[in-house]
A and B are shown apart, each in its own frame.
Chain A
Amino acid sequence: MIDARDIRKEYGGFVAVQGSSFSVDRGEVFGIIGPNGAGKTTTLKMLAGLLEPTSGSAEIAGLDTETAEMRQQLGFLPEESPLYEEMTPISYLKFFADLYDVDPDVAEERMHDTLDKLELEHRDRKLGDMSKGMKRKVAIARSLINDPDVLIYDEPASGLDPLTTNYVIEFTEQLAKEGKTIVFSAHNLFHVESICDRVVIMNEGEIVARGDLEELQAEYGHTRYHVYTTVDVPDAVQENGSYKRVVESMDAVEETRERAEANGGDVVDIRTEESSLEEVFLNVAEAGTRGTRYVEEDTE
Chain B
Amino acid sequence: MQLDTLLRVAKWEMTKNAGGVDKRTIVVMALSLVAMGAVAAIAVSGGAGAGMDDGIYRIGVDESSPYYGVAADDSTFDIREPDPAAIERRQQELLYRGTQLQSVPRTAKERAALTELRDSTAQYNDRTLARDDNQTAAFPVSVTLVYEQQSGSSQLDPRSGDGSDGSGPSAGGSDASDGSGSSTGGSGDGSDTGGTGGSAASGGGDGGTAGGSGANLGAIGARLTGDVQGGTPSDISPPFPFESLVLAFLYIVPMNFVIQAYGSSMLSERLNRRGELLLVTPVSRGDIIGGKTLPYLAGAVGVAALITAALRFGNIAPAGSYVAVLAVVPLVVLFLSATFCGAMFARSFKELTFVTVTITVTLTSYAFVPAIFTDVTPIALISPLTLVVLDLTGQSVGLSSFVFSTVPPLLTGLVLFGLGAGLYREEDMFTQRPIPLKVLDALAGGINSRRSALKMSIVLLPLVIVAELAAIAFLFVLDSVSLNVFGTNQSLGIVLVLGVIVVIEELAKSLHVYAGYEHARYERTLRSALGVGALSGLGFFIGEKGLLIARLSDLESLPIGEAALQGATLPAGLPLWVAGLLFMLPLALHTVTAAISSVGASRGRRAYVAALTVAIVIHFAYNFTVVSTLV
Contact = CB atoms under 8 A, between A and B. Distances in A.
B426 interface: yes
Listed from nearest, the 9 A-B pairs whose CB atoms lie closest are: A68-B282, A82-B272, A86-B19, A50-B426, A71-B282, A86-B20, A99-B281, A76-B280, A95-B12
Interface of B: 5, 8-9, 11-12, 15-17, 19-20, 272-274, 276-284, 426-427, 520, 524-525
Interface string A52-79: 1000000000000000110110101010
Interface string A139-177: 000100000000000000000000000000000000000
A222 interface: no
A227 to B, nearest CB: 53
Contacts of B276: 50, 78
Interface of A: 11-12, 45, 48-52, 68-69, 71-72, 74, 76, 78, 80-84, 86-87, 91, 95-96, 98-101, 126, 142, 297-300
A269 to B, nearest CB: 54
Contact of A99 (B17, B283, B427, B524): B283
B209 to A, nearest CB: 49
A300 B525 contact: yes
Contacts of B20: 86
23 contacts: A50-B426, A51-B426, A69-B282, A74-B280, A76-B277, A78-B273, A78-B277, A80-B273, A83-B274, A86-B16, A86-B17, A86-B19, A87-B15, A87-B19, A91-B15, A95-B12, A96-B281, A99-B283, A100-B282, A298-B524, A299-B524, A300-B524, A300-B525
Given A82-B274, A86-B20, A71 B280 contact: yes
Interface centre among A52, A84, A142 (most CB of B within 10 A): A84
Contacts of A72: 282
Interface centre among A49, A68, A74, A99 (most CB of B within 10 A): A99
Contacts of B524: 298-300
A88 to B, nearest CB: 8
Contacts of A99: 5, 8-9, 12, 278, 281-283
A110 to B, nearest CB: 16
A48 B281 CA distance: 10
A299 B426 CA distance: 29
A81 B272 CA distance: 8
A45 B19 contact: no
B349 to A, nearest CB: 15
Contacts of A101: 282
Contacts of B427: 11, 51-52
Given A86-B20, A87-B15, 10 more contacts: A51-B426, A68-B284, A78-B276, A80-B273, A81-B277, A86-B16, A86-B17, A86-B19, A95-B15, A99-B8
B8 A84 contact: no
A51 B276 CA distance: 11
A50 B12 contact: no
Given A48-B280, A50-B426, A98 B12 contact: yes
Contacts of B9: 99
